[in-house]
Structure 1
Amino acid sequence: MNFGNIDWPLIGEATIDTLLMTGFSLLFTVIIGLPLGIILFLTSPRQMLSNAPVYQVLSFIVNVLRSVPFLILLIVMIPLTRVLAGTSLGVEGAIPPLVASAAPFFARLVENVLRELDPGVSEACRAMGANSRQTVLLALLPEAMTGIVAAVIVTAIALVGYSAMSGVIGGGGLGDLALRFGYQRYQTDVMIVTVVILVIMVQLLQVFGDRLVARLNRK
């Protein structure tokens, strides 16, 4: 191993690509997964908008997407990814499957966070004449904010790992670099560097998340 011969500018570019994949995927995951998690909670049994058919259909879709291994989802979604992103390669091509895999996961986390709230919060809102939208926006979400932020951090960490796996189909980023240079060309030093960078990313996300959650808890 000779770390002096590593193409550091290429490592830097791959790191930026991984950050872009994770960041944009997390953004779309929250945009899709948060409302989906709220709907799952509201339509579940004994909730304000309890609706068994809607809940069962949404729950089935979420469970199916969560059960499909990410590498298989990457391959299966290639035609759809080309339609949505215009390509199945690079950062743009990795985002749709990343979102399709992470959004159901995040939605379940949001649903579970809302389930853990004191039922008295919803009952008090209904007693004061609040409708479902007001109850969610003014009571449930503020009460659940700490748990939702923690769920975002957990999802972000999962997306870092998923983004690395996207390198298998040319998704770019550190995973692609590790596959092309570390595995196919037997450059162990490149493999080690990419792994270390991914570990640092995860550690920074966890530390940032823990501090943010602690600050919200104090409030």
Structure 2
Amino acid sequence: MSLVAAIEWAEGHHRRGLYSPIGVAFHWAMAALMIFQLGYGWYLGWQPAGGDKYLGYQTHTEVGLAIMLLGTLRFLWRSQIGTPDTVDESSFSGRASHVLEVWFYFSFFALPISGWVMWSTLPSNLPLSIAGVIPFPNLPFDQLSEGLQHRLMQWAATAHVWVVWITALAIPGHAGAAVLHYVVKRDRVLPSMFDLNGPQAPGVAGSAPDKGSADEPPRA
């Protein structure tokens, strides 16, 4: 399937009021990896110093680089195709949704890059790779003074911690908004992220369920 055909296929899903399977796959894959990273990073922080912790941080960094790669692919895909209308962009919920989206994209890059900086300041010959498959170089910090390397480590660690905490708070906010749409507004935003077939009639993901017109008899 060519890129043009893939875009047209995805747009067909959007016209039926749901996200395309490609968009859904990106969403859930990156959500799972982000949640894993938050939990695994917290776990490593409590482990005693040693070889196992060191190897754990190598894995943690490599998963982060995989998230950065997926984030890049998702951004490129998102730049070529829109999404189904979910909320009024001028409303408070629309603006909040946009802010969360921008923050998540920021975290997809800020966390791996800060982790990459921290790893590159450690005295190690362990190589990095993206998800253990694609080789990835360390930054050439070994040529810097120890004092400068230490400051880079501190700056990167501080940025990493702040982005982690804000992201950890943003995730339940994002999930809560999706549940709010489903429970209170009774629209199709949440189901559209699970239903790969979608409604048969055209519509938007954020629209209320079709209750039929006044001239139509109620459906059985």
Task: Please report the TM-score for the alignment, with normalisation by the length of structure 1.
Answer: 0.28
TM-score, with normalisation over the residues of structure 2? 0.28
Instruction: Answer 1 or 2: which has greater helix percent.
Output: 1
